């Protein structure tokens, strides 16, 4: 077949095709820019103190935060792992764009009160909140779960980069060499620039990722368009386009729940939100993120289905390299190497952005949240920053060692990280709103939730009646945490928590002379929760009749279009949440509460 100057034989075996000098030059320039941003940030006194090095002095604007969180969330894993999962699963993997938007909904619940408390009590990291709200025991255990989730996401990026580099170079660069080079670049620009440099780099990377995704639409058009390849899927794998089974739908829901609460619990995602200038910028950030997340995830979902028509019958490991294979086929079919090189550049930037942010915050977690908090409380800022850089190097070495022998698919790693990361969620979900929840039950809930999840894994199933171990552990965790706290009544800890949480909806803008702005937060409104239940009910096609398997526009079935409509509704729900999150006049004055470091902000 020859379309638009590109010759392609549908069903042909994928081949490794070198993208030539274009990808080398583009990647080299981009990496030099990232290192330059790190150097520039270091010259701007980024490392002057720990607060600036780890949180950019809470000065980042909504454009930087929106693009940074987007780039951090849409990693190389997204380009390779999620398009591959769609290839293997079929149309029902619309769960991917659904759970990415759900992650923003989760952030709408957790981020607003967290940043208000962070501004008032000068939190540098999310663990400052956990220790202040509860105690050091809870902070330590929550930190371990959050480190686990972030480290797994960090390691995933090396798998993605290794696959891409090997295929894009036509096999000239071996997988291991690409992984090492990738690690060295991250070491330089993150170690130099701190969190500010990491965020600025991620914003640039986010813009390049959007460019790359847009160019992938051109690639699909050159191969005859989306509808032409969907016709092939109907012929070769019709099960990928028909309504999923009841068990698949249960799995669909569990994935949405995993990411709804898991994504905003990532310590590096929370760190970005803590670094925003003010609540107004954070609201604007969510309004920008929702359509961007929707656009990006839909493109990657479409690529997975499109690839199932171009290369039917790929093995599991072969599907992980679907995007590089498509780029290679485009170049080999006469389309040239410039456009595939630009697309590949976006994947490189996606991988760098997520890995850079993850390892930056991991090194902070070890140096500040663990070393200073539990081992040497008198350590100077300079000593903590140097310890962070040593931790950065150590994490890179461990990740490289793991990536040298990949034995799970990228999607399998994605599921695994959320199972245990979720055990840290209740201390934020309930602790930010409910003054009656207590430290002892937070600790007991996390321990029992983790033991429950681990126990289910040791049984060899990983789930019970289709419910994954992590969600069962989360349920046990939440019941123990909330149930135990309420059953034991109020205490001095409850009174202190009530005083602290009166600030969760109040912001004290700079230059306000003590005047606070009180907000109505999305998580405080019953209408928000009712709307969330409705959105969750509509996003899975349990209500679809068999007749909705019929083909509709672009060759995809009716039920898929209905779920796409529900996905748009989900995106609009995020925008509605930012409208619910509105200002109202502060009522009276509130007493200042000291932080654990006796650094409470003045009213």
**pLDDT value at position 486?**
92
pLDDT at 485 over 90: yes
User: Which residue would you say has higher pLDDT here, 83 or 587?
Assistant: 83
Q: List CB contacts of 275: < 8 A, sequence separation 6 or more.
A: 55, 56, 58, 59, 60, 65, 195, 199
pLDDT at 415: 56
The pLDDT value given to residue 320: 74
Position 45 scores a pLDDT of 55
Q: What is the mean pLDDT of residues 199-212?
A: 83
Which pLDDT belongs to residue 261?
A: 86
Task: Say what the pLDDT of residue 257 is.
Answer: 85
Does 253 or 413 have the greater pLDDT score?
253
Is residue 16 pLDDT above 50, yes or no?
yes
Q: State the pLDDT confidence band at 422, using cuts at 50, 70 and 90.
A: confident
**CATH code for residues 2-585:** 1.20.1730.10
CB neighbour list of residue 51: distance below 8 Å, 6 or more residues apart: 57, 122, 124
CB contact at 8 A, 23 and 168: yes
The pLDDT value recorded for residue 412 is: 53
C-alpha to C-alpha distances, 498 to 60, 85, 93, 134, nearest whole angstrom: 30, 45, 43, 12
pLDDT, averaged across the chain: 78
Instruction: Judge whether residue 375 has pLDDT over 90.
Output: no
Position 53 scores a pLDDT of 67
Q: DSSP readout, 421-461?
A: HGGGHHHHHTTTT-TT--HHHHHHHHHHHHHHHHHHHHTT-
Mean pLDDT along residues 326-340: 77
The stretch 244-261 carries a mean pLDDT of 83
Of 582 and 373, which is predicted with more confidence? 582
pLDDT: which is higher, 30 or 564: 564
> Residue 442's pLDDT is what?
93
Task: Over range 270-284, report the average pLDDT.
Answer: 82
User: Does the pLDDT value for residue 168 go beyond 60?
Assistant: no
185 pLDDT band, cuts 50/70/90, is confident
Q: What is the pLDDT averaged over residues 201-213?
A: 84
Please give the pLDDT value at position 478.
93
Query: What are the residue boundaries of the structural domains of the chain, listed by start?
Result: 2-585
* 194-198, 236-240, 250-254: least confidently modelled range: 194-198
Both tokens assigned to 85 = 């999962």
Average pLDDT estimate for 92-101 = 88
Taking residues 505-526, what's their average pLDDT?
73
User: What value does the mean pLDDT take over residues 439-457?
Assistant: 88
Query: CB-based contacts of 25: which residues, under 8 Å, 6+ apart?
Result: none
Task: Encode pLDDT of 541-570 as tens digits.
Answer: 989 898 999 998 888 899 999 999 999 999
In the chain, what percentage of residues exceed pLDDT 90? 16
Based on its alpha-carbon atoms, the radius of gyration of the chain, rounded to whole angstroms, reads 24
Among 414, 470, 467, which residue's Cα sits nearest to residue 446?
Answer: 470
520 DSSP β-pair partners: 582
Which of the listed ranges 86-90, 200-204, 278-282, 562-566 does the model predict with the highest average pLDDT? 562-566
Q: What is the pLDDT of residue 446?
A: 92
**Is residue 244 scored above 60 in pLDDT?**
yes
pLDDT value, residue 51:
62
| pTM, 2 dp | 0.82
Using the predicted structure, report yes or no on whether residue 462 has a pLDDT greater than 70.
no
- Region 18-27: mean pLDDT is 73
- What one-character-per-residue DSSP string does 117-186 give? HHHHHT-SSHHHHHHHHS-HHHHHHHHHHHHHHHHHHHHHHHHHHHHHHHHHBTTSS-HHHHHHHHHHHH
Question: Does position 49 have pLDDT exceeding 60, yes or no?
Answer: yes
């Amino acid at each position: 077949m020859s379309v638009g100057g590109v010759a392609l034989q549908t069903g042909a075996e994928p081949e490794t095709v070198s993208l030539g000098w274009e990808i080398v030059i583009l990647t080299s320039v981009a990496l030099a820019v990232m290192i330059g941003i790190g150097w520039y940030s270091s010259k701007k006194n980024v490392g002057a103190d720990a607060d600036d090095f780890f949180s950019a002095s809470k000065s980042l604007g909504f454009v930087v935060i929106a693009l940074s969180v987007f780039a951090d969330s849409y990693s190389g894993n997204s380009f390779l792992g999620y398009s591959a999962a769609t290839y293997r699963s079929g149309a029902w993997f619309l769960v991917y764009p659904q759970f990415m938007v759900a992650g923003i909904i989760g952030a709408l619940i957790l981020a607003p009160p967290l940043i208000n408390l962070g501004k008032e009590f000068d939190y540098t990291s999310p663990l400052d909140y956990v220790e202040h709200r509860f105690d050091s025991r809870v902070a330590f255990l929550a930190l371990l779960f959050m480190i686990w989730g972030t480290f797994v996401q960090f390691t995933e990026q090396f798998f993605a980069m290794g696959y891409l580099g090997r295929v894009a170079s036509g096999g000239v660069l071996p997988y291991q060499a690409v992984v090492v080079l990738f690690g060295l670049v991250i070491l330089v620009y993150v170690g130099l620039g701190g969190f500010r440099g990491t965020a600025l780099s991620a914003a640039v990377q986010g813009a390049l990722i959007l460019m790359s995704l847009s160019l992938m639409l051109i690639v699909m058009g050159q191969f005859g368009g989306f509808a032409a390849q969907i016709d092939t899927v109907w012929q070769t794998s019709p099960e990928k386009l028909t309504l999923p089974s009841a068990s698949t739908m249960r799995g669909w829901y569990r994935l949405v729940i995993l990411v709804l609460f898991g994504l905003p619990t990532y310590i590096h995602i929370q760190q970005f939100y803590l670094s925003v200038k003010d609540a107004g910028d954070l609201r604007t950030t969510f309004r920008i993120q929702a359509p961007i997340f929707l656009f990006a995830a839909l493109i990657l979902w479409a690529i997975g289905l499109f690839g199932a028509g171009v290369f039917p019958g790929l093995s599991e490991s072969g599907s992980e390299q679907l995007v590089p294979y498509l780029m290679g086929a485009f170049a080999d079919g006469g389309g040239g190497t410039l456009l595939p090189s630009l697309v590949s550049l976006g994947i490189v930037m996606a991988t760098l952005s997520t890995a850079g942010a993850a390892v930056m915050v991991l090194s902070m977690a070890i140096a500040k949240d663990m070393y200073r908090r539990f081992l040497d409380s008198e350590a100077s800022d300079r000593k903590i920053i140097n310890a962070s850089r040593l931790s950065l190097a150590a994490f890179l070495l461990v990740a490289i060692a793991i990536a040298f022998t990949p034995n799970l698919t990228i999607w399998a790693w994605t599921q695994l990280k959320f199972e245990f990361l979720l055990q840290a969620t209740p201390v934020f979900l309930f602790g930010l709103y409910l003054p009656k929840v207590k430290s002892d039950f937070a600790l007991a809930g996390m321990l029992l939730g983790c033991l429950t999840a681990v126990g289910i894994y040791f049984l060899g199933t990983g789930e019970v009646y289709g419910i994954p171990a992590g969600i069962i552990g989360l349920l046990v965790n939440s019941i123990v945490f909330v149930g135990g706290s309420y059953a034991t009544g109020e205490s001095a800890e409850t009174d202190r928590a009530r005083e602290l949480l009166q600030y969760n909806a109040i912001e004290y803008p700079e230059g306000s002379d003590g005047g606070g702005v009180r907000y109505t937060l999305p998580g405080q409104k019953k209408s928000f929760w009712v709307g969330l239940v409705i959105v969750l009910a509509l996003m899975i096609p349990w209500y679809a009749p068999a007749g909705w398997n019929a083909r509709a526009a672009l060759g995809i079935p009716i039920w898929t279009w209905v779920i796409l409509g529900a996905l748009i509704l989900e995106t609009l729900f995020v925008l509605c949440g930012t409208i619910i999150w509105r200002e109202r006049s502060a009522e009276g004055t509130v007493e200042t509460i000291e932080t654990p470091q006796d650094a409470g902000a003045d009213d």
